[in-house]
Chain A
């Protein structure tokens, strides 16, 4: 079965430290990978996506993600965390033949001052 895994339910980071939110995928075919963020009581907002090309993708709010085909991973990163980055983060994958997204369960990111 095709799936997206976010192995951590919650990630705690001190403000100013680098952060990583992990995502791995298991799909057949060429994956298109996405990160979305959800602030409390809001819908999801698009952060970044990988379609093809450079494995390092830059997105909104200073976030970036690295596509690693051999490890089937697409981890979200930021060099210096802000308290305002605290939110729920979702990784998602689409297949090259299908525009539907397969979603991870989400990771709650908490940035402590």
Chain B
């Protein structure tokens, strides 16, 4: 069964902490995405990557960075967590070059206190 795995389902972090959210896919997908999901706002794209060591800003990159050192792994980094970054974070992946459906991870619910 193909999978996108997010390392944590729930996280609680303190304001100012550096936070790492990890995402691993086993489908050999080129594209990987990080979204945050907030009630009434739908999914907002933070960053995406279409190849190893490549990254592109999405709609709301401020306060975040990403790393993609290997094809299967895409990490989201909150450099200094703030309470307004409390949210559900979703990782997704897809093949490149054609319009294919995304495969999503189960999400990480991050609370910053």
A105 near B40 with CB under 8 A, answer yes
Can you name 26 A-B residue pairings with CB atoms under 8 Å?
A9-B40, A32-B99, A36-B102, A36-B104, A41-B9, A42-B106, A42-B107, A43-B92, A43-B105, A44-B90, A44-B102, A44-B104, A46-B103, A49-B99, A49-B101, A51-B99, A90-B43, A96-B99, A99-B31, A99-B96, A99-B99, A99-B100, A100-B45, A100-B48, A105-B40, A105-B42
1/0 per residue, CB under 8 A from B, across A42-82: the answer is 11111001010000000000000000000000000000000
B104 near A43 with CB under 8 A, answer yes
A46 near B41 with CB under 8 A, answer no
> Chain B interface residue count: which class?
20 to 34
A43 near B107 with CB under 8 A, answer yes
Q: Is A25 an interface residue (CB 8 A)?
A: no
